[in-house]
Amino acid sequence: MNAERRIVRDGAVLIEDKKIVAVEKTDKVRGHKADTVLNAKNMLVMPGLVDTHVHLAQALLRGCADDVALVDWLKNRVWVLQGNFTREDGEISAKLCMAEMIRTGTTSFIECMIHTRYGFDGIAKAVQEAGMRAALSKIIMDSTGYADNPDIMHPGMVEESSACLKETEAMLSKWHNKGEERIHVWYGLRSLGAVSTELFREVVQRARSHRTRMTMHLGEVIDDVRYVKEKNYPNLTSFARDMGLLGPDMVFAHGVHFNEADLKALAETKSNVSHCPASNMKLASGFARVPDMLRVGVPVSLGCDGGPSNNTYDMIREMRLAALIHKPVANDPTVVSAENVLEMATIGGATALGLQDRIGSLESGKIADLILIDMKDVGLTPICNPVSNLVYAASGKCVDTVIVDGRLLMKRKRLMTLNDAEIMKRANERLDALLVRAGVTIEPKWPVS
Ligand SMILES: [Zn+2]
């Protein structure tokens, strides 16, 4: 992954401090005396994957809301559980999520909405400890609706606008560009129906004056389109444009219900879309118009969304879905190629983070965020085109080694910064306690003996 998309056979990557200084044939760098040498024989060396739509708090809710309709999914499961979260739940869920992300090759991510009750500070500390690169978005809201459904939010999820803005300011001064510049604090606008027009405009002005960025769910549900039409806007982006939301500093998650005029507006303003294929299928949201987005030049990246909507945070499996699902919709197997989705998962994600000049590709001068994928596997043999094997045949389980900022976060499948045995134990305990507190019972549909 460089400007020419060059595949180097028998290649080597040379890292000095945090930077990549050479990507060459092994022979060319062999003379360099390195302190640490990682043998990458039979490995694919790639830029780390970037997940641009993550709910850290939902890792703890994996499998808690399967095969149910969205409003039921939100009102009776996800919001009830998240509305009963404590800060300890927030921290352990973030650690569980990051352990999975690192194991499956994700090096950077955008967390889209941190509620005060999840404990922003504890999550930021956990990210710093884990060593990942992240945009952490403080939730911003001032109403209790969701799209055109008024007043349906669980009381535990409701926050007041001045408190949201105050906490964001505090977290910006404490964490923005901290953790050796790996942590960024963003504004996480909740969704249509939960944010008033005044608050949208206020946040846009604040985000730009702080030189930070914004993310929000938009067009995940058709109700979003009804919401803007009731307000006399012809489509989603005409509303977004009026609020000042369009621009390269915005990441819209899902975007299933964008129309042709929306796609033109997104392309013109270089507004980012995080495509979440697994979530869109699991919740029957629909198919985002990704082939059209690529045709008109919308910046597209990929997101795994959350534990109840995916139910994994494995970007390699997400790439496979993104490459497959658009072909039958278009009745054309040439739309959205393996190469297109690898770009979305790397340089596309880096662009959504605003870090395209620093990460997202393996090039001299870029930050050393990279992963090694073990291709010596019966399921990945033979290798005619490594991009094809990676996107169509691999999974996150094939990731062997993960490096962020020149530092090993996983070496030969062993996590270096997080203790996954301890995290799994605590996550099971926290979920049991959470279910009791929330008064929710979740059992297999089949009889258990
Ligand atoms: Zn989401």
DSSP string for residues in 53-85 = EE-GGGGGGTTSS-S--HHHIIIIIIHHHHTT-
Ligand 1 centroid from CA 261, angstroms: 24
| Whole-number pLDDT of residue 148 | 86
Ligand 1 centroid from CA 54, angstroms: 7
Ligand 1 centroid from CA 35, angstroms: 42
Ligand 1 centroid from CA 149, angstroms: 17
Ligand 1 centroid from CA 16, angstroms: 37
| Whole-number pLDDT of residue 76 | 87
What residue type is 172 in one-letter code? L
254: part of which helix (H) or strand (E)?
Answer: strand 250-254
Measured CA to CA, the distance from residue 302 to residue 104 in angstroms comes to: 14
For 330, what's the count of Cα atoms within 13 Å in the CB-facing half-sphere?
16
Ligand 1 centroid from CA 111, angstroms: 9
| Whole-number pLDDT of residue 238 | 98
What residue type is 156 in one-letter code? G
Ligand 1 centroid from CA 309, angstroms: 8
pTM: 0.98
Ligand 1 centroid from CA 382, angstroms: 37
Ligand 1 centroid from CA 385, angstroms: 33
Ligand 1 centroid from CA 333, angstroms: 28
| Whole-number pLDDT of residue 71 | 80
Residue 231's nearest CA partner among 239, 241, 220 is: 239
Ligand 1 centroid from CA 305, angstroms: 5
Residue recorded with tokens 């819209």:
252
Ligand 1 centroid from CA 285, angstroms: 12
Ligand 1 centroid from CA 86, angstroms: 20
| Whole-number pLDDT of residue 208 | 97
424, burial (CB in 10 Å: exposed 0-12, middle 13-18, buried 19+)? middle
Ligand 1 centroid from CA 32, angstroms: 45
| Whole-number pLDDT of residue 331 | 97
Spans in the chain with pLDDT lower than 50:
none
Ligand 1 centroid from CA 298, angstroms: 20
Ligand 1 centroid from CA 308, angstroms: 10
Residue 245's nearest CA partner among 192, 321, 285, 305 is: 192
